[in-house]
A and B are shown apart, each in its own frame.
Chain A
Amino acid sequence: MARASLLISPELCIGCRACQIACKSWNQLPGDKTVNRGSFENPADLTPDLYNKIRFVEVPSENNPVRWLFVSQRCMHCDDAGCMKICPAPGALYKTKEGAVAFNKDKCIGCKLCSSACPFNVPRYDKNDKVSKCNLCADRIANNMAPACAKTCPTGAISFGDRDALISKAQKAGYAAVYGQADLGGLGAIYAFHDAPKLYGLADKPVIPEMVVFWHKYLKPLSWIGIGGTAALMLLHYVAIGPKKDQEDKDDE
């Protein structure tokens, strides 16, 4: 299968949050105890038991004092994934052949480095200190089923399918710039926004922290070069110049 993705169209979202429930249901995640914060948005943020959340944004509009924007917030399944770059445990985070960034809790060492490298502040940690986030229902899509959220969405605000097809579908529907089309090698969750991404709480240009990129590009190779280089130099010294010769027990005073 070519790369699959979610197309999220906030204009179609009615804020019913059936996707939040379907996600919990399929992934067997318990409910989170929440408090009334004066908003229908609930819980306030992603949690280890909440992979997908509808963010409620209240903004004034031209002809109405209040306009509500709803948008699904979750792992974006970046092609160039910061979490995978920094993860020290092989197999804890991995790419499925459909392009989803999935996880294996048994292999996670609980270091939380992934959460520091994520451009979208997504990975959470459960009570056993294991990574917890949307995996694009990797088990469902491996069996040719849409992720639970997309399957449940009653309005088509979340649709799932071939990534290229979804992009051209969004473009045909009049969305010139699809959010996430090219960012970070292309996101696995793309957004059809009429408004600025900022309005929905998303950065215009999401990036992996510079320090993580620099570390990955330069410090990692330098680690090998450093120890290997000096080892080679020492060998060269032994061959070309040789060890100190003043070790013998003889008087040279």
Chain B
Amino acid sequence: MNRSDLITKESTFGIINHWALAISCIVLTISGFGFLFQIQGIGSAFSGFPAMKVVHNWTGVVFTASLFLSMFNWLKESLTFDSDDIGWILTAGGYLSHKAKVPPMHKLNTGQKFFYLTLLVSGFAIAATGFIIWLMPENKSMLVLSHFIHNVSFIVITAFIPVHIYLSTLGNPGTLRIMITGKIPYWWAKKKHPKWVRELEEGHGN
């Protein structure tokens, strides 16, 4: 294999899945801030708050479905840890010092795994409570509790957004192409995901 040959890191299913999550998440975050702080400008952009509620609810359906499907893409990998993950945490993934020697990673690095697991948990929490607020508002104590959890998970998810976007664009130039083509050059894969490449070459990877 040549250094510049492209190998597939994400399937078409994975790419579409990620875009569905990304777009629905951004629409939900913007409308969510609109509701949280009664921001007129955001409401007007959705042609009024009643319309924004409809958009928010149904985008929530897209988000929930995408989050469910994402488990087929990234859950197994995200639950696989070994001693190199400790090393990754100790070196902060090499993000705090360019000299740090980061242990070899598999298809996802430790940070990405934790990011995915956090998104999965808080995503299902925000989805479940969202459906309760939408469909079962008659039970008042349940409504108050759901609204509370909805906002706690909102804080977690939205605080992660800038980190996730930064690390896949400015922080790691060139990474964004995975989101578009799903492919990375062989040299890149070998450098960033050596354990995964080794498995591929030994013929039992995916």
By a beta-carbon cutoff of 8 Å, the part of chain A in contact with chain B is: 86-90, 92, 107-113, 115-117, 121, 209, 211-212, 214-215, 219-220, 222-223, 226-227, 229-231, 233-234, 237-238, 241-247, 249, 251-252
Expressed in whole angstroms, the Cα–Cα distance for A90 and B50 within the complex equals: 11
Contact between B155 and A109, CB atoms less than 8 A apart: no
Contact of B158 among A227, A238, A241 (CB under 8 A): A227
Expressed in whole angstroms, the Cα–Cα distance for A64 and B130 within the complex equals: 53
Instruction: Determine whether B27 belongs to the interface, using a CB cutoff of 8 Å to chain A.
Output: no
A45 CB, nearest partner CB in chain B, Å? 14
Q: List 22 A-B contacts (CB under 8 A).
A: A87-B38, A89-B43, A89-B49, A109-B49, A111-B137, A115-B137, A116-B143, A116-B144, A211-B148, A220-B36, A220-B151, A226-B156, A229-B159, A230-B161, A234-B166, A234-B171, A238-B171, A241-B97, A243-B170, A243-B171, A244-B94, A244-B171
Contact between B172 and A211, CB atoms less than 8 A apart: no
| Chain A residue contacts of B50, Cβ below 8 A | 89, 107-110
With contacts A88-B49, A116-B140, A212-B144 known, is A245 near B98, CB below 8 A? Answer: yes
Contact between A115 and B36, CB atoms less than 8 A apart: no
B44-55 vs A, CB cutoff 8 Å, 1 = contact: the mask equals: 000001101100
Expressed in whole angstroms, the Cα–Cα distance for A170 and B3 within the complex equals: 89
* Count of residues in B whose CB is under 8 Å from the partner chain: 51
Expressed in whole angstroms, the Cα–Cα distance for A212 and B140 within the complex equals: 12
With contacts A209-B144, A211-B148, A237-B166 known, is A111 near B171, CB below 8 A? Answer: no
Instruction: Determine whether B205 belongs to the interface, using a CB cutoff of 8 Å to chain A.
Output: no
Expressed in whole angstroms, the Cα–Cα distance for A115 and B138 within the complex equals: 9
Instruction: Determine whether B198 belongs to the interface, using a CB cutoff of 8 Å to chain A.
Output: no
Question: Which residues of B56-100 are within 8 A (CB) of A?
Answer: 94-98
Contact of B187 among A113, A223, A249 (CB under 8 A): A249
